[in-house]
Amino acid sequence: MTLAPAYGAESPIAELLEPEDLLPLAERRLVGNYRQAPFVLDRGKGSEVWDTEGRRYLDFCAGVAVCSLGHAHPRLVAAIAEQAARLMHVSNYFYNAENARLADELCKRSGMDRAFFCNSGAEANEAMLKLARRYFFTKGQPERYRIIAFDNAFHGRTMGAVALTGTPKYREGFGPPLAGVTHVPYGDLDAVKAAMGPDVAAIFVEPVQGEGGVIPPPQGFLPGLRSLCDEHGALLCLDEVQTGIGRTGAFLGTQHDGVEGDAIALAKGLGGGFPIGALLIKERLNGALTPGTHGSTFGGNALASRAARTVLAVLDEEKLIEGAVTKGKRLAEGLTALVNEHPTLCTGQRGRGLLQGLTLAQGVDTRAVLGRARAEGLLLTVAGASTLRYTPPLVVREAEIDEAIAITGRVLAEMKP
């Protein structure tokens, strides 16, 4: 029998791992469902990352609002290492200490009563969708299954979450969408009223439409949805995947409006980069998902739970939620100044806290701006058709915010005819 060469300097595998070989390797081996930048990131610290060639980037993507503590936060690194050496995963046939503690902390911070854990925001929304429908099934109302969701919304990539998502391009090519979802314009309370009926189980809403273009709700919209749900006996299901865990300057985005949901989906910033999702519910909904009706193999594992508990502790100790208010104001003011300086290229700034968007004028190539910013050392994402999305780590420094604004300004100046 011929053995493969040992892994080392003489191994063909080792040769593939040279920095210059990694980009072609990735392009050849990874499924092409992402539009990825032509470099390979290698390490990070705080709000900065470096690629395999040693180039430094200011990370105002942060894993799309995931890396709440930035990169390589010493508290999070230590907690993950310590927990990995103690207990990582035991399955949901058994309780684990870290998971129970995390459930308690999240319920206390959110005003909810119980938690279900999974691995992502899409899974949390999928669980929330199943919960909403099954809740009325268990109450003897199986006809009550329709969901009201919103145009331009984004709730994830599973088939159920895609059905809730109000942008047709995300559903194209996947066959008939899940039935029983009605989409109405975001912010239009009269349209929601017109869509309500005895078959409506729930309204699904984002406190700020993140992927749709960083669109905050008009004043009174979220409280109005709460009133409509109370009037019709429907559930208010809040997608706080992008807005939760302090990003908008409150622990939950809906807390700005004094609104409490019946169920809440969380993910992204909760684990600080470690995959975790959560569904939080009120006690009256607890009997809907009985044993065997829903589950998650990896959900609630001790390692993810310890990571999330560490994120919550650092949020408090470093006052990062309060910081999202002040630093978000600085970022918003900087983006507004760019709008005033480049009125032919930018049409506005919008957002809450450290979830901000710079909307570009019609005809401006948004992805060209994105690419030029990247070449200048600033990582951003595009939200909607024409909005640059700024979601830096909550640990971002004010000097880094100023640097990001300066880079954006230089790029816009280069775009002028």
Q: Please, how many CA atoms are within 13 Å of residue 310, restricted to the half-sphere of its CB?
A: 26
How far from 370 is each of 213, 340, 354, 382, 412, CA to CA, in Å? Answer: 15, 20, 19, 7, 10
Q: Which strand ranges, in their side-by-side order, compose the sheet holding 387-390?
A: 346-352, 355-360, 387-390, 381-383
Q: Give the active site residues.
A: 154, 239, 268
The closest of 303, 316, 288, 302 to 108, measured between CA atoms, is 316
Q: Name, in order, each residue with C-beta under 8 angstroms of 161's C-beta and a sequence gap of 6 or more.
A: 122, 125, 126, 129, 155
Looking at residue 396, its amino acid is V
Question: In the structure encoding, which two tokens stand for residue 303, read together?
Answer: 């390692």
Give the whole-angstrom CA distance, residue 35 versus residue 41.
15
The answer to whether the CB of 49 falls within 8 A of the CB of 71 is: yes
Give the whole-angstrom CA distance, residue 315 versus residue 249.
11
The answer to whether the CB of 206 falls within 8 A of the CB of 200 is: no
If one counts every other C-beta atom within 10 angstroms of the C-beta of residue 274, the result is 20
Looking at residue 128, its amino acid is M
How far from 217 is each of 189, 222, 308, CA to CA, in Å? Answer: 11, 7, 28
The closest of 211, 290, 222 to 261, measured between CA atoms, is 222
SS3 56: strand
φ/ψ bin of 140: left (φ > 0), alpha (ψ from -120 to 50), beta (otherwise): left
